[in-house]
Amino acid sequence: MELQLALDLVTTEEGIKLVKEVEQYIDIVEIGTPIIINEGLHAVKAMKEAFPSLKVLADLKVMDAGGYEVMKASEAGADIVTILGATNDATIIGAVEEAKKHGNKILIDMMNVPNIEQRAKEIDALGVDYICVHTGYDLQAAGENSFAQLMTIKSVVKNAKTAVAGGIKLETLPEVIKANPDLIIVGGGITGVDDKAAVAKEMQQLIKA
């Protein structure tokens, strides 16, 4: 089980400073969509150069031109790229083929996929590396979480690893761990606390136990 830190509402400079605090407790650092919108793939490149031993995920949420966008993210130093599960199979296949050329991985974000069980089965057959259930900001505000969806994909996915994201905090982490995903993605649960290192350390201890 791995821990991914999601950075969203920071600049590249602020993100690098933040990662320095928790570097030893995380496995993957995610350059979130808001940072990429604000600063471009330069943010991915800067983070990889600052932390060559960490895996860097570019949260591009690709919906089209899968091969091209994965190529550009890979050139910037991304180890993992996100593609939306709501897109078509051709986009996912193109992304997987391109990622393999670079020795990189594809994470499929299942946000807003209507029939998670059916779509997870279809995507699992396309050679992706991770399938992630993700409760976005807007639905988190409405009180939804990803745990039930995680159990659904865990029951049908045979090849890909499973990941979970959306509103996970230290107090809800034990519940997430019980579902046994391969990757747990935490954003504000670390970035929004005062002692980021202490919380990240505790999360790592729970995850690796």
- Asked whether the beta carbons of 188 and 168 are under 8 A apart, the reply is no
Q: Return the H-helix or E-strand segment holding 78.
A: none
CATH code of 2-208, in short, is 3.20.20.70
Q: Where are the domains of the chain?
A: 2-208
* Residue ranges of the chain with per-residue pLDDT less than 70: 136-145
Predicted confidence at residue 146, as pLDDT, reads 72
| pLDDT digit string, tens, across residues 52-65 | 999 999 999 999 99
Average pLDDT, the chain: 95
Side chain identity at 205, as an amino acid letter? Q
CA 34 to chain centre: 14
| pLDDT digit string, tens, across residues 3-25 | 999 999 999 999 999 999 999 99
